[in-house]
């Protein structure tokens, strides 16, 4: 393979789906993953275990050796949020050179430091870090189902470079909108996972569509409060990264976080619900605690997130609903 256009670091379903999409659109993509057996299987079958019906394009090359991905001028970080800083601490010294641009596609807040990934990764490279986020299930993206998401880049990235990255990552099936609100986009992508657990709880308890609509709407208000106090923009909350991603994750049957909440609502323990999902990462479990800590530091009340945390701590789901419905009355 000649020098790749894009290096994707992280071979989960989402990173792989994006790699497939960009390769299908004509880019040369190097996909790195840390598990040798998994990468060998992908190389042999030209498929991902969680995207079984999609064959990799010829211009997508997979390897557990990061050398090829390092050669790309654009690096995409697609590892699980909680392990990303540690993974890059090990990877970065192996790179022969720095990339021209770094964009991460992971959703969540770091449980250990309560940082977003752009904040945590700022010290890894002497480069601004952007984020790609929005309503997007990996399997649909890999199959070429029309999808629209947001590329948020910091103001330090010149307009010409930002527009070039937007054009490079867009395709006929993947429409990308440009934003300058990195922290708002990251917080929306993180908080929607916690709120999706709550929406799944409503479904599991069979509380009806009225309750779910109310939960999503009030959850959006919680999201807006935290985004605003941490420097994000209200327009981001009402756009694809906020409302769009929340609607998808809180209602879509493929959502791990919603399904997890539904299983708990039906009576399964937290541990049993996680096991039922095959050990997949339930990012909302990490995000909820971090979001509540950030809110507390700024004197904010996040009642839905607080009830999700109690749920994760083993309290009965019926009690969470009772407390939300009997809170003191107030204006919207």
Could you confirm whether 52 is annotated as catalytic? no
Task: Give me the pLDDT at residue 4, please.
Answer: 97
- Reported for 24-27, long-range contacts at CB under 8 A and 24+ positions apart, including other chains, are 24/57, 24/144, 24/171, 25/171, 25/172, 25/174, 26/59, 27/59, 27/168
What residue ranges define each of the domains in the chain, with the CATH number in brackets? 6-180 (3.40.50.720), 183-325 (1.10.1040.10)
Question: Does residue 325 have a pLDDT over 90?
Answer: no
Query: Is this structure's pTM higher than 0.75?
Result: yes
Q: Which residues pair with 30 in a beta bridge?
A: 7, 61
Active-site residue (options: 192, 206, 266, 330)? 192
Contact 32, 122 (CB under 8 A): no
Question: Does residue 125 have a pLDDT over 90?
Answer: no
Question: Does residue 124 have a pLDDT over 90?
Answer: no
User: Which of 199, 215, 183 is CA-nearest to residue 294?
Assistant: 183
- Tell me the two tokens of residue 10: 């992280």
In this prediction, residues 295-305 reach a mean pLDDT of 95
Question: Does residue 180 have a pLDDT over 90?
Answer: yes
In this prediction, residues 250-265 reach a mean pLDDT of 95
- In angstroms, the Cα distances linking 271 to 13, 82, 83, 192, 194 are 23, 19, 21, 21, 17
In this prediction, residues 309-329 reach a mean pLDDT of 85
DSSP H or E segment with residue 22: helix 13-24
What average pLDDT is seen over the chain?
A: 95
Question: Does residue 255 have a pLDDT over 70?
Answer: yes
């Amino acid at each position: 393979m000649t020098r790749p256009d894009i290096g994707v670091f992280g071979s989960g379903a989402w990173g792989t789906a994006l790699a497939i999409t960009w390769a299908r659109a004509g880019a040369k993509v190097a996909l790195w993953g840390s598990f040798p057996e998994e990468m060998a299987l992908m190389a042999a079958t030209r498929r991902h275990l969680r995207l079984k019906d999609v064959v990799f394009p010829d211009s997508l090359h997979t390897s557990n050796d990061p050398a090829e991905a390092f050669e790309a001028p654009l690096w995409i970080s697609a590892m699980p949020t909680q392990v990303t800083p540690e993974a890059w601490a090990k990877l970065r010294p192996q790179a022969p050179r720095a990339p021209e641009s770094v964009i991460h596609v992971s959703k969540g807040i770091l449980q250990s430091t309560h940082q977003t990934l752009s904040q945590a990764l700022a010290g890894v490279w002497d480069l601004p870090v952007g984020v790609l986020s929005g309503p997007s299930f990996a399997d649909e993206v890999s199959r070429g189902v029309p999808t629209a998401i947001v590329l948020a880049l910091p103001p330090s990235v010149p307009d010409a470079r930002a527009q070039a990255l937007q054009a490079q990552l867009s395709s006929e099936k993947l429409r990308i909108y440009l934003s300058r609100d990195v922290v708002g986009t990251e917080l929306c992508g993180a908080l929607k996972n916690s709120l999706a657990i709550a929406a799944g709880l409503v479904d599991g308890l069979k509380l009806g569509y009225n309750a779910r609509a109310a939960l999503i709407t009030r959850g959006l208000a919680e999201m807006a409060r935290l985004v605003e106090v941490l420097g994000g923009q209200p327009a981001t909350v009402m756009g694809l990264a906020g409302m769009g991603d929340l609607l998808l994750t809180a209602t879509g049957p493929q959502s791990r976080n919603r399904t997890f909440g539904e299983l708990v609502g039906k009576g399964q323990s937290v541990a049993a619900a996680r096991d039922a999902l095959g050990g997949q990462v339930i990012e909302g479990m990490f995000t909820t605690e971090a979001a509540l800590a950030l809110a507390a530091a700024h004197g904010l009340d996040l009642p839905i997130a607080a009830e999700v945390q109690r749920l994760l701590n083993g309290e009965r789901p019926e009690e969470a609903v009772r407390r939300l419905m009997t809170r003191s009355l107030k204006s919207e």
